[in-house]
Amino acid sequence: MNKIKLMNKISPVGLDLFGEQYQVGEDIDDEDGILVRSASLHDYTFNKNLKAIARAGAGVNNIPIDQCSNEGIVVFNTPGANANAVKELVLCGLLLSSRKIVEGIDWVKTLEGKDDASKLVEKGKSQFVGPELEGKKLGIIGLGAIGVHVANAAIKLGMEVYGFDPYISVNAAWGMSKWVKNAQNMETIFSECDYITLHAPSTKETKGLINKESIDMMKDGVRILNFARGDLVNSTDVLAAVKEGKIAKYVTDFASPDIINQENVIVMPHLGASTPESEDNCARMAVKEIKDYLESGNIVNSVNFPYINEPRTTKYRICLIHKNIPNMLAQFATLLANREINIENMVNKAKGEYAYTIIETNDVVDMNDFEALENVIKVRVIE
């Protein structure tokens, strides 16, 4: 029986895939796996039995990845599973940043109970004029699953789209409209664009990338959208620029005390992925990933360990997480040879400092033999 701890609400469409061999819930101890959305695991104590964490979503900044790697805990996410949901909210954000929709709606509420409301509306609406998107320049920082969706949709809206992503994947590039212009650097985005939208993960490199210095490069009246993570933006600098009128509107999915209820700042309660479709997609993908890893040792969509997806061919499968250093495979082979155990199949892949090896055999093996080896982090024998 595998035990799965839920750190957030996860769609039953995914949870139903676990089946009877799993105990799943919020009050689980000594869990084999964790399913999480945005709850922070930075202060969570991982038990020794924990093998995997699946983030039903994209961003993994709520998980201590280095610590997980060090402890042999495989962390998965669900690439692209919520990208359409976020794209749709970004399109909404573009419109909210441009047309004075929120202000207009709030103003109409003040007319409640007035018999001449329709007349007042026609007289007062001129205060809520805002520009169209067509023909304007949109800069996108981060061209992954979401950035590409946004780029393609903005092209269809008639916008001139500039994209910047120094690490763009071949897949993302294949999926992107040929009309998207390749900005060679972030400065081009800052200086050229009327609208700037962020779709890069929170990393050391991206933290605070919207700050006084970058804002100074921007056009007067620029509109900034942040559906990536709050810490990509220095909110003090953004707020100051909004107050000066340099930034016409800041629309974000991430609340912080300083930006709540400020004029020309629209804050949403982290709603990007909150659609039934995306919640189902993410849950399904996360459950499949964690189940596959626990049952077969296969790793698909991990952010900290390499991709290995091999069909089972033998009775026993030895799964070894270890340091990516010379002589590990030789030690495994020698150990098995000394026990007269034949290797039917062996796969080894590395990712950065860590590596993963699957050895298949039809003979009984003793996990302790492998655990005793230096630089082996985690061992499992799956029957």
Ligand X SMILES: O=C(O)C(=O)COP(=O)(O)O
Ligand Y SMILES: NC(=O)C1=CN([C@@H]2O[C@H](COP(=O)(O)OP(=O)(O)OC[C@H]3O[C@@H](n4cnc5c(N)ncnc54)[C@H](O)[C@@H]3O)[C@@H](O)[C@H]2O)C=CC1
To ligand Y, the closest distance from the beta carbon of 64 in angstroms equals 16
Question: Which of ligand X, ligand Y, none binds 143 (CB below 5-8 Å, type-dependent)?
Answer: ligand Y
Question: Smallest distance, Å, CB 125 to ligand X?
Answer: 35
Rounded to a whole number of angstroms, the minimum distance from the CB of residue 260 to ligand Y is: 17
Which structure tokens are listed for 279?
Answer: 């919640």
Count of residues interacting with ligand X (CB under 6 A): 10
- Using the rule CB under 6 A, is 227 a contact of ligand Y? yes
Does 147 bind ligand Y (CB under 6 A)? Our answer is: yes
- 51 close to 319: Cβ distance less than 8 angstroms: no
**Residue placing its CB nearer to ligand X in the complex, 23 or 274:** 274
Q: Which stretch binds ligand Y (CB under 6 A): 16-24, 54-62, 325-333, 352-360?
A: 54-62
Q: Residues with Cβ < 8 Å from 91, sequence gap 6 or more?
A: 150, 153, 154, 157
**Does residue 38 touch ligand X according to CB under 6 A?**
yes
Least separation in angstroms between residue 88's CB and ligand Y is 11
Q: Shortest Cβ distance from residue 228 to ligand Y (Å)?
A: 4
Please tell me whether residue 229 binds ligand Y under the rule CB under 6 A. Answer: yes
Q: Choose among ligand X, ligand Y, none what residue 206 binds, the Cβ cut-off being 5 to 8 Å by kind.
A: ligand Y
Task: Compute CA distances 15 → 23, 36, 284, 296, whole Å.
Answer: 10, 12, 8, 19
| Structure tokens given for 328 | 């590990």
Q: Which of 172, 242, 283, 319: binder of ligand Y (CB under 6 A)?
A: 172
Of the two residues 60 and 193, which places its CB atom closer to ligand X in the complex? 60
Verify binding: residue 314, ligand X, rule CB under 6 A. Answer: no
Residue 57 interacting with ligand X (CB under 6 A): yes
Selected range binding ligand Y among 76-84, 119-127, 239-247, 373-381, rule: CB under 6 A: 76-84
Nearest to 292 by CA among 33, 81, 25, 7: 33
Tokens of 201: 């993960």
Does residue 145 interact with ligand Y by CB under 6 A?
A: yes
Q: Which of 66, 205, 258, 353 binds ligand Y (CB under 6 A)?
A: 205
Q: Does 164 sit near ligand Y (CB under 6 A)?
A: yes
Of 78 and 234, CB closest to ligand X: 78
Q: Which of residues 248-277 bind ligand X (CB under 6 A)?
A: 270, 272-274
Interface positions, 74-133, toward ligand X (CB under 6 A): 82
What is the SS3 string spanning the chain?
A: CEEEEECCCCCHHHHCCCCCCEEEECCCCCCCEEEECCCCCCCCCCCCCCCEEEECCCCCCCCCHHHHHHCCCEEECCCCCCHHHHHHHHHHHHHHHHCCHHHHHHHHHCCCCCCCHHHHHHHHHHHHCCCCCCCCEEEEECCCHHHHHHHHHHHHCCCEEEEECCCCCHHHHHHCCCCCEECCCHHHHHHHCCEEEECCCCCCCCCCCECHHHHHHCCCCEEEEECCCHHHECHHHHHHHHHHCCEEEEEECCCCHHHCCCCCEEECCCCCCCCHHHHHHHHHHHHHHHHHHHHHCCECCECCCCCECCCCCCCEEEEEEEECCCCHHHHHHHHHHHCCCCCCEEEEEEECCEEEEEEEECCCCCHHHHHCCCCEEEEEEEC
Q: Which is nearer to ligand X, 58 or 73 (CB)?
A: 58
In whole angstroms, the minimum distance from the beta carbon of 162 to ligand Y comes to 12
Binding to ligand X by residue 37, rule CB under 6 A?
yes
Does 197 sit near ligand X (CB under 6 A)? Answer: no
Question: Which of residues 82 and 252 has its CB atom nearest to ligand X in the complex?
Answer: 82
Residue nearest to ligand Y (CB): 144
Give contact residues for ligand X (rule: CB under 6 A).
Answer: 37-38, 57-59, 82, 270, 272-274
Give contact residues for ligand Y (rule: CB under 6 A).
Answer: 57-59, 79, 82-83, 86, 141-147, 164-169, 172, 199-203, 205-206, 227-229, 253, 270, 272-273
